[in-house]
Structures are given as structure tokens and as C-alpha cells.
A and B are shown apart, each in its own frame.
Chain A
Amino acid sequence: MVNRAKLMAALLAATCLTSWVAFAGDNASSGGVPATSSYDNDIELGLLGLGGTNPDQAGRYNGLTTRGADLLGRFDFERRPTGDSTWYYDFSGRNLAFQTGSYLGSAIGSDGTYRSRTANNLANIGSIDLEFGRQGSWESSLGFNSISYTGNVIDSLYSDNGSHLATLNSGLIPWGGATAATQGSITKNSLTIPVLSGTGAMQPLQAGTRRDIGSGNFKYIYGHWTVDGALRYEHKYGSLEDSFDGPWGGTAFALPIDYDTGRYDLTAEYATRRDQVLLQETYSRFEDANTYINLPYPYSNTAAPYQLSAAYSTPPSNQADYLTLEAATNRIPKTRVNLNARVGLETQDNGFPPNTADPDPSPLSGYGNLNPVTLQGTTAGSPDIRARVYQGTVSATSSPVANSSLRAYYGIDGRNVTLNQYLVYTGGQSSDARLTGSGYVIPQNWVKQNAGLNFGYLLIPRYSTRLTLGYRYDHTGRSNAQVGESSKDTMTVAVTSAMGSKSFARLSFVHADRTGVLVYLLPWYNLEQGTVPSPVPACASSSLNECSAATFEAPMNSNSVKLMVDYMPQEDLTTDLLFMYERHSYTYAAAETLAGTGEGLRSDYDLSAGPDVTYRPRQGMSYHLYYTFQRIFYETRGNGACAQSNTGSCAGSIGYFQDRYTSDMQTVGFDGKWQVTTKLKVAAHYTFAYGSVLFGLYNGVAVNTPTPGSFYQNVADFPQIISKMHEARLTATYAMRANVDLLFGLGWEYYRDDNFNDTAAAIQGAGSTAVNFLTPGYGSPYYSVGYVMVGGRVKF
């Protein structure tokens, strides 16, 4: 922005944003080396001591998840061209950490073997980069990066028995000992809670993943031409918490992650002052080492068929091929024309997992009975799915008259999926007739187009007061959708202006309307039937109480306001103020008269506001303080036809519900840097984030005596959830000599929220024989860790 002071630059030059692991960056050499320094290289080594409660949660994103001592390192070796030479290299390593006792999660492989814990000791959060070449002629780079994530502890029925074989815990046997023809000795009804609890049927597993990413690039420059080849290869491994359909809920297990993703780009660019053209070929391949996971259940069904295998499918391997064109020209006076276009093919031809039942043998699910096999699945071996995609934008930006700007644009985004047509059969019990049948799988295709104009004019040049008007039209056509065609009009008005010599402001307002005819359909109807019959079965019958609205297609209007103000009362003080508000409202006209029909999301809004102050009282001292309030709100309503009274068609167990979800976040932050003496530099950082999540549930049906089994009566709000996060860090750098620094740091991180803390235990209802193998998912997280670091930096 014009006249916006960026005192933050003084803070940013040597600021490291990462977590405490790389706190040394607060006083990094990159911004601290004086101009007269001849040091181009430096090495940092340090020892970090970490302690506290639940360090695995504190380090879930930075990889340092265990108490104890860790070795930290960072280096930067570079040679810049000098004299007549253009040779250079830059070899750097950041966040290099070695810790003992760090392991990733465990999981079960497709062959039933159990993946042992993967050590995560070395460079689990680090990166190493090498760039070299002759500037202006050719350049190359190699890089390694790793990203680790520590997930939750789950309780699973499966564990490692020490021989890396997956076994059911506590003497549980697959399918309760059932054979294809005979019932097992352990059935759903005979597996009681005391059996599970007393023999430790549930064992904890730590989920977690790690990505190791290698990258390389080579660029050659010849005149106006630049040719660039790049590759990125990633191996991701570990496990994530997952669950499969079980009786009365899910059964948790650790999904094995063994992914390989490669991306290869070849780019050619021709660029002159007037014209630029870029052509890029991109190939991406995703490989999943597992097609499915075999998960034997701990008991057998009480009635035939008796399943002996259950496959849980995993993400299929796939690939994508894109050809991208970017072109731009300045040949038309005062005008720049841009063209961006891409065509691509996304394909997936992975072999199907075996035709098996759901892991859950309960007859209530019924989907995919094993016998006879012809009643389920398909005789084809793979889907051979091809998605042809294309996107493009063309724009012209011009200044037709003085102090003005005009931009016209058009964009398109299309998707057309084809696959070998084959019948997919679904099994089911006779009482669930609609689920028995066959049909073709039909995906959704679309063509989305947009066009618009933006006009800006400098009204008052003296104050840089500028008015911008914009209009955009969107049209979306979909197949297999609740809204076959929709259009959207968006209008934008924005004003920016300096207010005196010390302040600048930007105010914008956006209004959008999306229209279209929403046809309620069964959620899966358009995925299974060869053609959508005419007339489309309406969602008026009480037997079709599953019709809901696809919010992302539904008619909607939105309004948003954004205000940003910069104020600099004096040259060493900058204050910024932000206010953003955006609200969407959705309409489902047909739902009001359809008993049992859901509406969906009715409205939502997003609000952010707060000041940001930067102050530099004197050379060598700077402060930054900010506060941000953020609120996110959603309101959803269902079963729209029912009135609040428990009468008529809504008598008994039916009533409409309405839920309101409010999530607030307040964040306060402080950063300060002081050059205390010529040798001593100190930096401090503190952030406090306070969150509150409110759930408001309303059900219009209030009765004195709730009906047993009723779902809609006397609904109670979920309790409010409060979260608090503290992050504090104090670092110091002492220059022992011109090329030797001592580093010291202290830090503390704390997080707690009072979310539902689900304990690990199977649940059995009073008077019921059903067993629910629910295990903790995202229970109340809490951590409080402190750390101290000492180290040194040598420059040479």
C-alpha cells in the first residue's frame, strides 16, 4: 500500500517463525552479519533439553516428541559470485535434530503383518538444500525435507505380539472361530464387556506419519529461453487413526500409510520485455503400497452367512498428466493480455480389493454379503476411470484513460469422467429392498464458467483515493446433481485512500447471489442409476426421508465487508487495524413443505478483527504487539416440515432440529528484540490463544416423558469447550568474538482444552447385548512442555 510503513522489515530480517526447535533463528546470522563482515558461512550446534507433560502432543507438528536431550544443528555455506565470475553455491541445513526415543505409529499391513514402530530420530523436521550453478547461465538445486506428524493414541483390538504379526488381543480369535458353514463360539451376543475389559482386549497404539521429500531442479538459460526440469519425490509412512463400520458405531484401527508420490515438471519459457510464453508438462504418480487391509472381526455373526474375510479398501494408486500454457503480451499499448490454460487427464485403474463383506458382520448393515459372490461387486478387475479436466483463464488489463484501470476476464473449469460401464450389485436383506439391485456407477461432471469486469479510477490523486467497481458472473452446469444449472452474480465495491499524510485505509464490500432450481434426490440416487427417471421421485413420501440439500450447490446469497487501516503517527510507530466480516445465507424453498426432508446449512458467517502495532523506540530495539478476535458461526436446520409442536405429522418421535455452532478465537502476541549491548542481543516472543466452542442445539419437540428410542425429544446442548494455548520463548545471542556467538534459549508451550475426553472402553447399553468398540479419537488434548537450549555459532 502507498505510504504504508513496514517497520516489520526490521523485525523480519532475522526472524524465525518456526517453533522453539529453531529458536536460534530469532538471532540468526542472516540478518545479523554486519555489512563489513566477510563471513559467508556459519555453523550452529546446540543441545536442547525438553521436559514436561505430553511432549508427543506438543511436538506433533515439529517432530520433537520425547523428553530428554536432543542435538540441534544448522549450517549455511555459500559462495556468491565475485568479480567476473558467476559461479555460486548455497548449501544449507535447517532444523537438523537428532533425538532418541522418537517413534512413529504402528499399523497393520495388507498381508496381516504388523508394521513395527518406525524410528523417527534423525532430521525428522529438518531440511537440507543445495543450490549451485552459474548465475544467468544454468542453475541447479537438490533438496531434502522431512515433515512428521504425531497423531492420537487409540485403543485397538489388534496389537503386535512381538513377532510383527497382527493378532486380536486377549485371546480373541478371528470371526469368533466361525467357518464358512458354522457359527463361531464367540458371537456378538456372547462377547460381553467383562470379557473385553478383564482381559485387556483394547491396547493403545500411537498413530503418526512422516514424509521424506526429495527434490531436484535444473534450469538452463539461453538468450530469451529458459528450460527447467524439476522433480519432487515423497515417501510417506506410518499410520493414521481410522475406523470401520461396526455394531453401534465404529471400530478403531491404525491404518497403515505407505505412500509414494512423484511429481515431474518440464518447463520451457520464452520471455522478452513484451511477450512471455511458458509451456509446462506435469506428470504426477501416487502409489499406495496397500490396496486393502484385512481386518478379521473378533466374533461371528449369529446367523449365516459367516464371513471369513473383510477387506477395508485404501486410497487407490492414481496418476495425473497436465499440459499447461501461460502466455502474456504487452504489445497493445497500455494493455496487458494474459492467457492461462491447462488440459489434463487424471486416471485410476487400481485393482479392486477382494469382494468381501464389510468388516462388520452385523446383518443390519447388510451391504455386500459374501455369498453368493455374484450378488456383490463386479466381475471387472479394476475401474479404469479417466477424468478429463480442463481449465483456462484469459484476461486483459488496461489503462484506457489516465488514472484508471480496466480488467476484463473469462475463465472455465471443466471435468468429464468416463469409466468402463459395468453393473455394480448391492446386496442386502429383503427388508431393505431399495438396496438390492444393480446399477451403473455415474460420477458427477461439470462445466464452470465465469466472466467479469473490474474498473478502477483514481478519484483524488493527492490522497491516492481510488474507487474500484467489479462485477463477476458465474455459471455452473453439473450432471448428476441436485442443481443442474446455477448462476451467480457478484458485485464488488472498494475504496482505498490515504487519510492525511499518516494513514491509509481500504474498504471493500462484496455482494453475491447464487440462483438455481434445487431438486431433492436420494443422496445416492444419482450415483447408482443408469438414468435419472422422469419425473424424478419426489422426496414427499415418508419412506423417502433421506432427501437433503447439497449445500455447495444450493441457492445462496452472501455479503462481506473488509476494512484495513494503517496509521503511522510517527516514523517509528505503525498501527494497523483489520475488520473482516463475511456472511452466507442459503435457501431451500422446497423443504418447507416436505415432511422429513432436511434443509441443511442455513447461514454461516466469519468475522475477524484486531489491531497490530509495531514500535521502534530507538536503534536496536523493536516491539510488535497484536490482538485478533475471530468468530466462525454455522446454523443448520433439518426436518424442515415439522413445526415446533409435537402434533400432526410430527407427532411422536419426529421433530425438526436446529443446531448452531460458534467457534471463537482470541489471539494476543508480542515480539521484541533488543540490542542490549554491542555484544548481547535478546529476543522475546509470547503468544496466547483463547478459544471457545459453543454448541447450540434446538429441537422443537419438548415432551414431559421422552419416548424410548426417540431421537428428537428434549435435546440438550453440548457443553461449551474452552481451549487455551501459551507459547513463550526467550533467546539471547552473545558475541564472544567477531566470528563466534553463544546462543541461549528458554521456552515454554502449553495447551489445554476441555473437549470430550473419551476413555478407552467398550460400551454396552443397559439391557442390550450390543457391544460398541468405540475407542478414543480426539480426546481432550493437553500438554505443557519446557525447554532450554545452549549452543554456539561459528562464522567463517
Chain B
Amino acid sequence: MLRRVFPRWSNIGPRCDAPRVRRLGVGAALALVCLLGAGGGATAVALAGGAAPAAQPTYQSVRDSQPYAKGGSKTCLRCHDTAPVTDVLKTPMGVAADSRTPMGQYGCESCHGPSGDHAELKMVDGKLILPPILFEKPHVAAGVEATSVAAQNKVCMGCHQGDMPINWMGSPHQSAQLACAACHTTHALKDAVLVRQSQPKVCFTCHQDVRAMSYEYSHHPIREGKVVCMDCHNPMGGHGRYQLKEFTVNQTCYQCHADKRGPFLWEHQPVRDNCTNCHTPHGSNQVRLLKQPQNFLCASCHSAIDDHMGGTFGGAGTIPGGNQTGTPFVSSMISNQRACLNCHSQIHGSNSPAGEFFFK
């Protein structure tokens, strides 16, 4: 069974074979807390029989070198006994029988670090000693400074390095100094980013431009919960650009649109190269997630005279449905409905021997 060894956040750090702090009984612990009061640090050491330190330790050094709490998670839960803190006990991370999980090892302190002094309400410089590792969100919202991103993520990466997070280091989110806890909520019955219906909203807190695009008329059913961000992206580091799950844009699209994969007898080169040459996957005011209306889009490459471009844009018959007396309907034909795709309908490629112009 894989045994996870937790990272060392100090030179000493926790190890599975290190001697644990002798667990005091509850009563003795409470008495110790009452006795220690506000300036309990040095006193506690003296009571333990150790010599007083030669120099006054700093707040941070004390914080980072705490022993484990007597009683483990039970001690923590004496104070932190309400939701959402206790919700973690109902998640996979709270399964004590699985030795890979935090609850299967050092409990709350597996992630938050040894917090014995915190549990005993010890103080240094008039400040309550906090656990070594505090993650974002509730603590920051409460005005408590979070631990550095690197230290936070080191905890998570102690267990989660393979599978999806394997390419985390150097990924765009990691390079942007994003903490795991910025997106993930472990103290919740359901981590919102892992639930399809709520996942996009987590991503939209930063990717506001994508949120705006999801409200455009043509869009992947993202806000309907049928297609979500992680269907295409791996936010913990993808194989290629844009943190895509697959190695290329097209391979990602082919997961659901395998009818475009081909290979076709007659290929349309920009289609083979990259679907985003024509499409914008998050949303568009144009049909079929196109970047521009169809005749304008085609003109991006096919802009010469005989590419019907005059018929696409020119003349008095430009307005759909209208015509100039004596003129043929070339203009309206190309501007109306599906424009160029009225005729060149197999635009993704054709397997007909006579389909080189994608008519059929």
C-alpha cells in the first residue's frame, strides 16, 4: 500500500517513525492551558523539564516547530466542531481506514501541520500561535494571513503528484502563483470545482471573459452543465498549450466531434491544422461557434476575385433578399443563410471522389 510521507515544513518535520509527543489526558491538557495563559511558550518548555532557550524565539519559528496536538484530530474538533470544517470528515479525505488520506495519518495536522501549541492556545508576542499551514478562503476572509502559496501547494503535492497533477510544475496556473486551495475546497461535502454543475463558476471567478462568452447565443452548453471546463482542459497542467487534456486542439475536439476526425479524402487544410482557425469554443454571436459570419470568415483566406468575393460583398444586391434589376442572384445567394456553406457544405472535408470543392 502506498504510504505517503508528508513534506517537511521545517528541518525537523513530521515523519512516520518520529516519537510522538506524549499524549496528555484531556484534563491535564486543559490544566496546562489554564496554567500557561498568554505567555505560555517558555513556561511550557520549563514545565516539560527542558532548559529555557537562550534567545527569545520568533513567532514564526515557534509556529513552524510545534509538536503534534495531544489527542490529534479530536483535539481540533473540540473547538472546530461545526460545518464547514467538519464536512471534510464526510469526504474521501476523511476516510481514516485509508492510510493514504490525511485522516488516515495525522488527521487535521496532516495538512495543517503540527499544531499542538495552537491547540493549547499558546501565544507569542501577544498573538495566538496558528497552525503552520493555513489555506486560502475562510482564513483569509477572517483576516488571517494565509501561508505562502508554495508552502500550501507543497502540502497538497505531497500526495497528489501523479495522474492529473503530474504536469503541475511549470503549468500556467502554477506559474501564476495559484494555490490549490484557490480552486479546491476540501472542507465541503462536495468540492464545487469537482461537481459538473458548479465547476464553471469556480473557473469564471478568474476567467471572466469566458463567462461572458458563455452567454452568447451560440455556445457549448457550459452553463447548462452538460459540457464543463475539465471536459477539455486540465487546469493542473495539460500536455500542450491552453492546458488541454489532449496534446492538440483538434484531438481535444475529436473527443466529442469524432465525425470531423477523418482523415478525409479531400481535406480542408485549416480544419486539419486547428479547429480554432474558424471556431471559438467558448461562445460566439455567430452560429456554430464561428469567429465571424460565414462569408466574412471564408474571406479571411479566400479573398481573390474569383472566389465569389465580389458576389459575397459587392453590388447593390448585397443585402440578403434584395436584388438589382437585371442582375443575377449571385450576391444574395452567397450572403444569405449559410453563405458559402450553402454550396460548400462539407467544409470539414469530403470523402466523395468528386468532393474536392466540398460540394458533397
Contacts and interface: CB of A to CB of B under 8 A. Distances in A.
A254 interface: no
Interface stretch (B30-38, B44-52, B114-122, B206-214): B206-214
Interface string B333-360: 1111110011111101011111111011
B299 A600 contact: yes
Contacts of A691: 216-217, 285
22 contacts: A33-B189, A61-B221, A83-B97, A250-B343, A271-B163, A284-B258, A320-B261, A342-B239, A367-B359, A383-B265, A545-B304, A548-B304, A600-B303, A610-B208, A638-B304, A638-B305, A710-B327, A751-B217, A756-B336, A774-B333, A776-B337, A778-B337
B28 interface: no
A312 interface: yes
Those 8 A-B pairs whose CB atoms lie nearest each other, nearest first: A711-B310, A250-B342, A598-B303, A638-B303, A35-B83, A377-B353, A777-B337, A368-B354
Nearest to A608: B209
A716 B209 CA distance: 32
B107 to A, nearest CB: 15
B16 interface: no
Contacts of A693: 285
A667 B215 contact: yes
B141 A578 contact: no
B177 A1 contact: yes
Contacts of A85: 97
B329 interface: yes
Contacts of B145: 3
B354 A444 contact: no
Contact of A5 (B141, B177, B291, B354): B141
B259 A288 contact: yes
Contacts of A62: 221, 224
Contacts of B29: none
B309 A781 contact: no
Interface in A657-709: 657, 659, 661, 663, 665, 667, 669, 687, 689, 691, 693, 695, 697, 699, 706, 708-709
Contacts of B81: 35
B232 interface: no
Nearest to A597: B304
B287 interface: yes
A62 B219 CA distance: 12
A94 B226 CA distance: 11
A273 B304 contact: no
A719 B137 CA distance: 48
Given A18-B225, A313-B355, A751-B217, A571 B143 contact: yes
A135 B92 contact: yes
B5 interface: yes
B200 A17 contact: yes
Given A3-B146, A456-B175, A601-B301, A311 B352 contact: yes
A171 to B, nearest CB: 25
Contact of A367 (B177, B199, B354): B354
A219 to B, nearest CB: 10
Interface string B80-114: 01111111001110111111110000000000000
A336 interface: yes
Interface string A1-25: 1111111110011011111001001
B258 A261 contact: yes
Given A443-B267, A706-B316, A243 B321 contact: no
Interface in A234-257: 234, 242-246, 248-250, 252
B170 A407 contact: yes
Given A315-B351, A393-B240, A446-B273, 4 more contacts: A286-B259, A548-B304, A758-B320, A777-B337
B342 A723 contact: no
B360 A15 contact: no
B285 A770 contact: no
Contacts of B287: 777-778
A190 interface: no
A250 B134 CA distance: 63
B354 A86 contact: no
A782 to B, nearest CB: 11
A259 B90 CA distance: 41
A121 interface: no
Interface in A731-761: 751, 753, 756, 758
B128 interface: no
Contacts of B338: 243, 250, 777-778
B247 A653 contact: no
B279 interface: no
Interface string B303-335: 111110111011110111101111111111111
B137 A665 contact: no
Given A34-B83, A243-B343, A766-B325, A81 B216 contact: no
A669 B81 CA distance: 35
Interface in B251-270: 254-256, 258-267, 269-270
Contacts of B260: 315
B354 A377 contact: yes
A346 interface: yes
Could you tell me the dominant secondary structure of chain B's interface residues?
Answer: loop
A259 B162 CA distance: 35
Given A243-B345, A311-B360, A657 B313 contact: yes
B329 A15 contact: no
Interface in B266-299: 266-267, 269-270, 272-274, 277, 285-287, 291-293, 296, 299
A443 B349 CA distance: 11
B303 A636 contact: yes
B356 A528 contact: yes
B60 to A, nearest CB: 13
Given A397-B169, A667-B212, A699 B239 contact: no
A127 B209 CA distance: 28
Interface in B147-189: 148-149, 158, 161-163, 166-167, 169-170, 175-179, 182, 185, 188-189
Contact of A413 (B198, B247, B305, B335): B247
Contacts of A727: 215
Contact of A147 (B5, B195, B221, B301): B221
Central interface residue in B286, B319, B335, B336, by most chain A CB within 10 Å: B336
B223 interface: yes
Nearest to A586: B300
B87 A35 contact: yes
B178 A320 contact: no
B327 A708 contact: yes
A549 B213 CA distance: 29
Central interface residue in B264, B300, B346, by most chain A CB within 10 Å: B300
Contact of A397 (B92, B170, B336, B342): B170
A86 B357 CA distance: 60
A76 B27 CA distance: 42
B75 interface: no
Contact of A552 (B137, B202, B277): B277
Contacts of A436: none
Contacts of A25: 197-198
A538 B226 CA distance: 50
Contacts of B219: 61
Given A391-B240, A571-B142, A338 B166 contact: yes
A84 to B, nearest CB: 5
A81 B98 contact: yes
Interface string A535-551: 00001000001111111
Contact of A546 (B141, B179, B306, B345): B306
B73 interface: no
B55 to A, nearest CB: 23
A571 to B, nearest CB: 5
A535 B100 CA distance: 67
